[in-house]
Structure 1
Amino acid sequence: LITVVDVFIVYLVEYFNIFFFTDPKCADKPVFTPPRLVVKYGDPTSATCSVLHISDVFGLDNSVGDFTINRTTILWTVEKITEWDTSAICYYINAAKDLCCTSLPVTVHKPPDSVSISFRNHSGPLLEGHQYTLQCEVHNVAPVENLTVTFYRGQTALGQLQSNNTEKKPVTEIFTLSINTRKEDDGVQYWCEAKLKLGPEGPQPPIVVTSEKFSATVNSTPAPETTPSTSSTPTPSFSMCFILLLFSLV
């Protein structure tokens, strides 16, 4: 039979998500299948929660979607994922009156709208031996913390960067990389690649969006100007003038 305490515990789980009531030693925790969901925003999804024993208190705390219970199994279904921070917690009370819970990780993703590359605060030809900053702008992507950006010069990878932004909703982020120019890079194309890595449960191969490529002109650094030396007739010294004066008197 369901007691008042059981009802109170369920209330805490469903409305406050209070996990410290869960017995960490609970041997038979609920099991989600699959154990993790990766869903594109706007797509449908589903998961199953199973327990080993029938319980009077058995349910699902879900932020979206519906669920149905069939003895020891709960089927959670969502027709269309429209929340970026989605979760589901399966729970039941075992024979020892322990509250056993399992949380289902849900990652909602969206590929970038576009990716662009340029030099920061610079336009026109580059000078050999100088340092410039490339910037790769990734527009409207989620979750950005799963994004890896790689800069390329021709087919050579120059560097790889990741975001430390934990925002779950789509954001636009700019990644920068400093480079030194060489004369042999004249005419070489620069571009960047944004890759959304969502693990084995995500799209395979991972989602990749690349920028357009642009060619850079690298000019040689001008040699320093030198002033040509000029020869001139030395100015007669006082002693030379004195000797000439003596000869004129003889």
Structure 2
Amino acid sequence: MSEPLLELKDLRVKYGNVEALHGIGLTVRRGEIVTLLGANGAGKTTTLRAISGLLRPSAGEIRFEGKPIHALPAHELVKRGIAQAPEGRRIFATLTVRENLMLGAFTRTDKPGIAETLAWIHRLFPVLEKRGTQLAGTLSGGEQQMLAIGRALMANPRILLLDEPSLGLAPLLVKAIFQTLREINQTTGVTIVLVEQNARAALKLAHRGYVMEVGRLVLEDSAQALLSNPKVQNAYLGSRV
């Protein structure tokens, strides 16, 4: 079994006086795809935002490659290998597709490496090369999601955090994006943490999963075991996609 890449220990996060995460602990190993499942408000996005440095924990610890990172600013975490494609994509609508991608490499100085990463992303998502000079705000929803993932990959991350990549997309496009995520993981070894409402698609992609309820982790298992778990089926897998 591979060593832990990311560890959360008794992590607590507050919004003002309201505690959103109540001491959660989880482990993500190198090369894994791990999914976080749960209803809206369960704390999934809060967890990702804490990992990526956008929220400061009120207690507990986040360790990356064995070192505590929870006090570091977000840009420093990007340098260390943590990148996020956020919920809602958050692309820069008035910049071109290429400009959006290049912003993803803002912490890098290795020009040959940046060019190599850009060429790889164009192979993963050919439409991004085709529309390189187009304003990002004119892309379709699916193209914008590809751009958000591509921009995160431009940072050359060791771990990729994805928040609701299927949101608002047609089933065929969701299938294509998830196939690309599997390819990214298998060919490069990039570790992925996936927050996704489409629980069935997420579990078919992932190696392991955690189930969250109101700021707590209530279940952890292999993705295959969670797919066949009656409680998970009743709560999250009621309709097939």
- TM-score, normalised to structure 2, is 0.24
Structure with greater helix share of residues:
2
Greater Rg over alpha carbons, structure: 1
- Taking CA–CA contacts closer than 8 Å with sequence separation of 6 or more, which of the two structures ends up with the larger relative contact order? 2
Structure with greater strand share of residues:
1
- TM-score, normalised to structure 1, is 0.23
